[in-house]
Amino acid sequence: ETGVTQTPRHLVMGMTNKKSLKCEQHLGHNAMYWYKQSAKKPLELMFVYNFKEQTENNSVPSRFSPECPNSSHLFLHLHTLQPEDSALYLCASSQETSWETQYFGPGTRLLVL
Amino acid sequence: AQKVTQAQTEISVVEKEDVTLDCVYETRDTTYYLFWYKQPPSGELVFLIRRNSFDEQNEISGRYSWNFQKSTSSFNFTITASQVVDSAVYFCALSEAGTSGSRLTFGEGTQLTVNP
């Protein structure tokens, strides 16, 4: 595997379900990010992790819960989501959080029914 | 506040035409970086270029070229002799200094359609 991978690529869930999105980077980076991309809206930064520590939470509702067990893996745990949470969720990584280029995964397309 | 404006929401061209995607930014930082990313229908954002605020030299990479003009706060992207495979959404982004390091502010993207 190379670059940034995300699983699953597509996910359909009901509002009462609990699911998790997984991101893995094979670039030796130390910073990882979650973004949300909704139709007709700019990319929204959700969370930033640097050396496994969360350094930014961009006022994200608590129904989204990130986890970063090590610098290579990032999870986004989902529970009691709303239909408006349907979007493309993108993971990215960079060498560190200072000016470095972010490299993105293919995203998970989430549909909440 | 940082802001990136891509005024062109959608552009449609015929193959082999040249096309320029506009990007205008606002920042109070003296040190910043500008980026262009390509998002094909598959969804993944593909990194194209990174330029720092002190380097105003234009850059050419194959059919791609970038024009950075600090005086007008613009970082425009030109595709020469466009191809159908260039069809994608293109995002311009600005890296700003945040409390926990830099963060990217994205424009709203330009949907480019290249027709055969």
Q: Which residue has the higher pLDDT, B82 or B29?
A: B82
Higher-confidence position of A107 and A2: A107
Which range of B18-22, B27-31, B47-51, B52-56 scores highest in mean pLDDT? It is B18-22
Q: Strand, coil or helix: what is A83?
A: helix
Of B37, B43, B107, the CB nearest to A109: B43
Report DSSP state, residue A102.
P
B98 vs A79, residue with greater confidence: A79
A13-32 pLDDT, tens digit per residue, is: 998 889 999 999 999 999 99
Query: What residue of A is the nearest CA neighbor of B36?
Result: A101
B31 CA to chain A: closest CA distance, Å? Answer: 10
Q: Prior bond to A42 cis, omega within 30? A: no
Nearest residue on chain B to A41, alpha-carbon basis? B108
Q: What is the mean pLDDT of residues B18-32?
A: 93
Confidence of residue A99 (pLDDT cuts 50, 70, 90): confident
> CB B101 to CB A92 under 8 A?
no
The confidence band for A41, taking pLDDT boundaries of 50, 70 and 90, is: confident
d(CA A104, CA B61): 21
Q: How confident is the model at residue A98 (pLDDT cuts 50, 70, 90)?
A: confident
What pLDDT score does A21 carry?
98
Dist. CA A30–CA A50, nearest whole Å: 6
Q: Cβ separation of A43 and B47 shorter than 8 Å?
A: no
**Which residues of A fall within a CB distance of 8 Å from B109?**
42
CB B46 within 8 A of CB B52: no
Judge contact between A25 and A33, C-beta under 8 A. Answer: no
Could you tell me how far CA B104 lies from the centroid of its own chain?
Answer: 13
Contact A107 B46 (CB under 8 A): no
Residue B43 corresponds to which tokens in the numbers above? 């969804």
Residue in chain B nearest A103 by alpha carbon? B47
Residue A42 pLDDT grade (very low, low, confident, very high; cuts 50, 70, 90): confident
Taking phi first (over 0 means left), then psi (-120 to 50 degrees means alpha), and beta for anything else, what does residue A112 get?
beta
- B92-112 burial code (b ≥16 CB/10 A, e <16): bbbbbbbebbbbbbbbbbbeb
Q: Is B109 left (phi over 0), alpha (psi -120 to 50) or beta?
A: left
| Contact partners, residue B1, CB within 8 Å, separation at least 6 | B26
* φ/ψ (deg, to 5) at B71: -65, -30
* DSSP states along B54-115: T----EEETTEEEEEEGGGTEEEEEESS--GGG-EEEEEEEEEEEBTEEEEEE---EEEEEE
Is the Cβ–Cβ distance between B91 and B37 less than 8 Å? yes
Question: What is residue B112's predicted lDDT score, i.e. its pLDDT?
Answer: 98
Mean pLDDT value across residues B45-53: 92
